[in-house]
Amino acid sequence: MAAILQVKELDTQFHTQDGIVHAVNGISYDLSEGETLGIVGESGCGKSVGVLSIMRLIQEPPGKIVGGQVLYRGRDLLKLNEEEMRHIRGDQIAMVFQDPMTSLNPVLTISQQMCETLEVHKGATHAQALARSIELLEMVNIPKARDRINDYPHQFSGGMRQRVMIAVALSCNPQVLIADEPTTALDVTIQAQILDIVRRLQRELGMAIIWITHDLGVVAGLADRVIVMYAGYIVETAPVRELYVNPSHPYTLGLLGSLPRLDAKEKSRLKPIDGLPPDLIDLPVGCPFAARCVYAIDKCRQENPKLETIRDDHRTACWVDVGNGRHK
């Protein structure tokens, strides 16, 4: 399938009083039309900064995209001026943020916020925008949408606010939807409802999705392909089933080892990953995971490995063949 979005050697930094924070360090990946790509990793690994860079929503200063390309249908988004980017953002590429309460304007009604998007991007009249907004709220299962559309964000529950944010993001029929941990603050029942809505809408609209999360359990039932990030680097990428069956990077093994399993034949304690992530201001010379890795060899501390293909569409950045216990 053709790639609708190509990220090439993306590099984003933040200049602080303590030094330069290397938040995203030369990451590259493609997103195909209609595909769901999961990006996982612990807090601070660069997941959110990477997608905010795609949307050109990094605050400058202190942040700065210092290198790379983001090609949307062959057009480099990093070279567009702000006016050109506004026509892409929210229209062709839309984003759902983690906290809907801070993403929605608390002093404007849901109607005002949804209608503005349609009027600006699609040139709709207010009546057309209002009718479309009600339709979208019904699509994301907001009960009595016609009555609720003039309510304010605080009058909705957390799960319903997140559904409203999804409706806002989908209002212009985007080709790419980026969801930045949209279910993290919700209980598991509401999480499941949101995931069902997203799966259904993707089937109906045919959009591509980038789903950011720290929860490998979520991407197991949603994504086609998974990227694992650590300390601003991509350390492994594979189709979702391949990643779960044949994890090849020690960090991925650690994430899976800390995940409860319903199919386990025997009860066992979850295994935490010992140690702490590296300081992004002072990254180590070698592999950033080496200090926490039980498989680490001397070479790991001397040189950071690049992503290499180990099986069809499965790439990992590691000097050790974890599956066979051999050095490369």
Length of the chain equals 328
Q: What is the pLDDT of residue 185?
A: 66
CA–chain centroid gap for 144, Å, is 31
Q: How confident is the model at residue 160 (pLDDT cuts 50, 70, 90)?
A: confident
Residues 23, 66: Cα–Cα separation, whole Å: 11
Nearest to 296 by CA among 327, 267, 323: 327
Q: What is the pLDDT of residue 101?
A: 65
Overall average pLDDT of the 176-203 stretch:
81
Residues 289, 277: Cα–Cα separation, whole Å: 7
3-state secondary structure of 258: coil
Comparison of pLDDT for 327 and 305, the residue scoring more: 305
A 10 A CB-CB count for 81 gives 7
Comparison of pLDDT for 37 and 220, the residue scoring more: 37
Q: Where are the alpha helices (DSSP H) in the chain?
A: 47-54, 82-88, 100-103, 110-122, 126-139, 145-148, 158-170, 188-205, 216-220, 240-245, 250-257
Residues 121, 170: Cα–Cα separation, whole Å: 12
| pTM of the shown model | 0.88
pLDDT at 41 over 50: yes
In sequence order, which residues have a C-beta less than 8 Å from that of residue 119 and are 6 or more positions away? 125, 126, 129
Q: Looking at residue 192, what DSSP letter applies?
A: H
Overall average pLDDT of the 118-139 stretch:
87
Residues 48, 64: Cα–Cα separation, whole Å: 14
3-state secondary structure of 282: coil
Chain position carrying tokens 């702000």: 82
pLDDT at 326 over 50: no
Residues 221, 219: Cα–Cα separation, whole Å: 5
Note the pLDDT tens digit of each residue in 227-271: 999 999 999 999 999 998 899 999 999 888 877 666 656 666 777
pLDDT at 36 over 90: yes
Residues 79, 60: Cα–Cα separation, whole Å: 15
Overall average pLDDT of the 54-80 stretch:
92
Q: Where are the alpha helices (DSSP H) in 17-124?
A: 47-54, 82-88, 100-103, 110-122
**Order of strands, edge to edge, in the sheet holding 63-72?**
19-32, 3-16, 63-72, 75-76
Residues 269, 257: Cα–Cα separation, whole Å: 9
| Angle CA 217–218–219, to nearest 5 | 95
Residues 219, 103: Cα–Cα separation, whole Å: 23
211 within 8 A of 199, measured Cβ to Cβ: no
Q: What is the pLDDT of residue 231?
A: 93
What are 288's two structure tokens?
């950033």
A 10 A CB-CB count for 153 gives 21
Chain position carrying tokens 């349609």: 118
Q: What is the pLDDT of residue 183?
A: 75
Rounded mean pLDDT of the chain? 87
Note the pLDDT tens digit of each residue in 73-118: 989 999 999 888 988 887 889 888 877 667 788 888 999 888 888 8
pLDDT at 282 over 70: yes
E strand or H helix at 27, and its extent? strand 19-32
Q: How confident is the model at residue 6 (pLDDT cuts 50, 70, 90)?
A: very high
pLDDT at 320 over 90: no
